[in-house]
Chain A
Amino acid sequence: MYTIEMRNVTKIFPGIIANDNITLQLERGEIHALLGENGAGKSTLMSVLFGLYKPETGEIYKNGELVTITGPNDANTLGIGMVHQHFKLVHNFTVLENIVLGVESTKNGILQMQDARARVKALSEKYAFDIDIDAEIRHISVGMQQRVEILKMLYRNNEILIFDEPTAVLTPQEIEALMNTMRNMAAEGKSILFITHKLDEIKQVADRCSVLRKGKMIGTVKVSETSKEELSEMMVGRKVALSLDKNEAKKGAAILQVKNLQKSSGDGKPLKNISFDVFAGEILCIAGIEGNGQTDLVYALTGLSEVDSGQILMEGTELSKMKIRKRTEMGISHIPEDRHRHGLVLDYSLAYNTILQTYYTKEFQHRSFLRKDAIMAYARRLIDRFDIRSGQGEETPARSMSGGNQQKTILAREIDRNPKLLIAVQPTRGLDVGAIEYIHKQLLEQRDAGRAVLLVSLELEEVMNVSDRILVMYEGEIVADVDPKKVTFNELGLYMSGAKKDKVVA
């Protein structure tokens, strides 16, 4: 008998079968990983379990009994809780308020918080969460916020806990702590569904693993008896190279020199006296936890915002006061962090998106009229070269393309301009294994062609695999300049969380 069994679930959206006759069985006290690429149907399946979607066919059994779930309230009554990938926390409520929201106790209509406070405190101590329950959510770290989400489930006495990509936002140390918490909870008899696409984590913590691909259940395997290679093959449907083949970097001259960059305030932390060089033929990676000044640094380099003081030299030419178009013409390419905000005009076609920085050149414009034929031909060339897939070819609206193909479009545009410096900010965010592999290969190709590549990434895996040199940012400062071959994951984690700091002089 299973704690939760989803039997023959089929969910159809217009034009796509998101879940095709899926059966998922969760045992009591196990950590069960749910593995699959983006769009494989993991989220849909969990939404069905949560009652957010009504499946076309299929049943859900709890402890062998047929149950119907029509919404979060039903799920909660049945003891099913979920930590969503995007936390569902109210930013200006306290930790305690967020936990009790929805299950408040009242007396004569007035909220009674004392009991809740005591219970949350006890739970927090039991799992060594070390959390200030009167702090407002916006003042605590992402790792702490995740603990609030876990406390929410524990407070509701949930027995079936779903974690949707829980490690994406955490440092290695926080991931370690989370894994321990998950093990503890499983040991107490709670059942855990762990959605992820990171194979290492599955190997570390999961007992069994179910793999979804294109809406179909490929199979459920014992993790201890299955290798990472086998898992990834099940997920993607073909053999995938998990580690990149790369040659030694042939480091050339300094392309970009940043000297004493300062910026007092911005969206993130102020930039404090940042200096570094990027050389031709290397991939320099800026690692760090989100919000430690990476965004501001990239904005400063690409011209999206101004700096207070300091120099940015491109092959000796000062560009910190230059307009964005000038910088583009100097040979800077930028794959932005937020591809919808800074990368594409979503309502333009694929073709028009490929000429956003070059529309004014002779090639695409004649006496201020756009040369449509030339634009379309150019777009077709990029589509061929970069294997961009879309419904209506170059005429496809960018909005209707998949995330991977949107990113390929940006990549194609930026690389095809033959930049001297390619700045790629989280280029693989939200992409699946196949697309990630492709983008990494392209970055390496650029490096081998003698270009300077500046990669900003939050994914340690990516940082270690792709880069030739790593800078770590913490609170707007560069705190480490290390060689990926000589540094461990753990050390990087310590730098990223500010526990360790080098004096870095570029």
Chain B
Amino acid sequence: MLSFVMQHTMFFMIPLLIVALGGLFSERSGIVNIALEGKMIMGAFTGVLVILTFQETLPGQPILIIALITSMLVGVAISFFHAYASINLQANQIISGIAINMFAPAFAVYTARLLLGTHNMHFSNQFRIESVPHLGDIPIIGEMFFQNTYITTYLGFVILAIVYIVLYKTKFGLRLRACGEHPHAADSVGVSVTKMRYSGVLISGGLAGIGGLIWVIPISTVFSGSVAGFGFLALAVLIFGAWRPVRVMFAAFFFGLMQAISHSYSGIEFLRALELPAHFYRMTPFIATLIVLAFTSKNTVAPKAIGQPYDKGGR
């Protein structure tokens, strides 16, 4: 039973982790990214479109890889708008983000109807891995992490490791963080704030795009132009994780666990025995979000320059 919950936790945790890490790049560079939801939808939509195109002709895993790459590219592309508005035009970052959030589902539904006649995009799940060779045979751990799984789970952890190294061990990361804290300091030592913030926003779009697709695949075989508020949940994960990669992982695990319980409580005996209405379980992740953020957000420290357009003349 524990392994069952764990497997489900992974399904929810990984997209949250990847999308939150995406948000992290943008926000550590100083740009608020409330558009994660919209970027996820764009990624999921195009990814599913790719799956639909190839699912008759190619085997599962290659399709998944092509779809992931497409999702990433589309996420990057849509981020250009966000970056251009908030960096070049110095627009309000919240508003340009909301614009993307409003545009994405409408675009997905409209285009799906245009191409497929319906906005419910049914695809077949050929990506599940029953058991990873050898690793899946390890007692307990194998069952928890290497059975009934997807390559995307491991991709999530690889991304986490890369993000950590890039952020803390490279020149790029040092400069990116400086731009989010004190862009004038960065500028005064010759770091281009514009370049850094563009990088942050575009990387964030790429990861959010991937995250959108990774969210759809394990839990459904139909995409209908929505990611059910996961982009906003990822934002909560980012804040709960105090804008730091490892903490973000723990936050994602916590929220993933909540989601897993809410979706699969009927498979957990003692929860089913409580005979509470289904709605109760459905709302637990959101109630938990409220409670956790209410208690933690006061103490977490956001990047100092977040949300402020960079004005060379200002101080």
Binding site for B on A (CB under 8 A): 52, 71-73, 76, 82, 84, 86-93, 97-98, 100-104, 106, 109-111, 152
**C-alpha gap A110/B174 in the complex (Å):** 11
**C-alpha gap A91/B315 in the complex (Å):** 15
With A52-B312, A72-B188 in contact, is A101–B170 under 8 Å at CB?
A: no
Chain B, residue nearest A89 (CB): B185
Inter-subunit contact B178/A93 (CB<8 Å)? yes
Bitwise, B150-171 to A at CB < 8 A (1) or not (0) is 0000000000000001000111
Residues of A within 8 A of B175 (CB): 101-102
Inter-subunit contact B181/A103 (CB<8 Å)? no
Residues of B within 8 A of A86 (CB): 315
Chain B CB within 10 Å, residue with most, of A82, A97, A102: A102
**C-alpha gap A87/B174 in the complex (Å):** 18
Per DSSP, chain B at the interface is helix
Chain B, residue nearest A98 (CB): B185
**C-alpha gap A87/B182 in the complex (Å):** 10
Inter-subunit contact B185/A88 (CB<8 Å)? yes
With A76-B190, A101-B186, A102-B186 in contact, is A91–B171 under 8 Å at CB?
A: no
**C-alpha gap A102/B185 in the complex (Å):** 10
**C-alpha gap A201/B198 in the complex (Å):** 44
Inter-subunit contact A91/B181 (CB<8 Å)? yes
Chain A, residue nearest B305 (CB): A90
Inter-subunit contact B182/A91 (CB<8 Å)? yes
**C-alpha gap A315/B282 in the complex (Å):** 64
A51 to chain B: closest CB distance in Å? 10
Residues of B within 8 A of A52 (CB): 312
**C-alpha gap A98/B304 in the complex (Å):** 16
Binding site for A on B (CB under 8 A): 165, 169-171, 174-175, 177-178, 181-182, 184-191, 301, 304, 312, 315
B142 to chain A: closest CB distance in Å? 34
Inter-subunit contact A102/B190 (CB<8 Å)? yes
B87 to chain A: closest CB distance in Å? 18
Residues of B within 8 A of A152 (CB): 189
Residues of A within 8 A of B174 (CB): 93, 97, 100-101, 104, 111
Residues of A within 8 A of B186 (CB): 90, 101-102
A261 to chain B: closest CB distance in Å? 27
**C-alpha gap A91/B171 in the complex (Å):** 18
A74 to chain B: closest CB distance in Å? 9
From B169, B177, B188, give the contact of A84 (CB < 8 A): B188
**20 CB < 8 A contacts A-B:** A52-B312, A72-B187, A84-B188, A87-B185, A88-B182, A88-B184, A88-B185, A90-B177, A90-B178, A91-B182, A98-B185, A101-B174, A101-B175, A101-B186, A102-B175, A102-B191, A104-B171, A104-B174, A106-B171, A110-B169
From A73, A91, A97, give the contact of B304 (CB < 8 A): A91
Inter-subunit contact A101/B181 (CB<8 Å)? no
A34 to chain B: closest CB distance in Å? 19
New A-B pairs, 13, CB < 8 Å, besides A73-B190, A111-B171: A72-B188, A88-B184, A88-B185, A88-B189, A89-B185, A90-B182, A92-B181, A93-B177, A101-B178, A102-B186, A106-B171, A109-B171, A110-B165
Chain B, residue nearest A71 (CB): B190
